Amino acid sequence: TQSRSSAASDVYKRQVSKTHAQISVVGDALLIDDLRSTNGVAVCPGGSIEAAVAVEPGHSTQARAGDTVQLGDYVVRIGRAR
């Protein structure tokens, strides 16, 4: 039988892999790349899921402050450092 922590770890691995996406800063731009993930990457302008743009592997998508980035089942809000 699996321990509870092992089972939780297996679920986590299915949602976001260690090579899921790459986030790069180029000049003033924050670029998101899908590294051929199974569960996908999307940029949601202003955090709007209705306006989500799927990030295609091999094609960087720019994210701006206020956007959210969806990595599998996880959501990351983009902001500026103060």
**Measured distance CA(24)–CA(8) in Å, rounded:** 29
E strands, 1-82, where? 21-26, 29-34, 41-44, 53-54, 61-63, 68-71, 74-77
pLDDT per residue as tens, the chain (82 positions):
444 444 444 444 446 777 789 999 999 899 999 999 988 899 999 999 999 999 999 999 999 999 999 998 889 999 987 7
**Measured distance CA(20)–CA(57) in Å, rounded:** 10
- pTM for the structure as a whole: 0.76
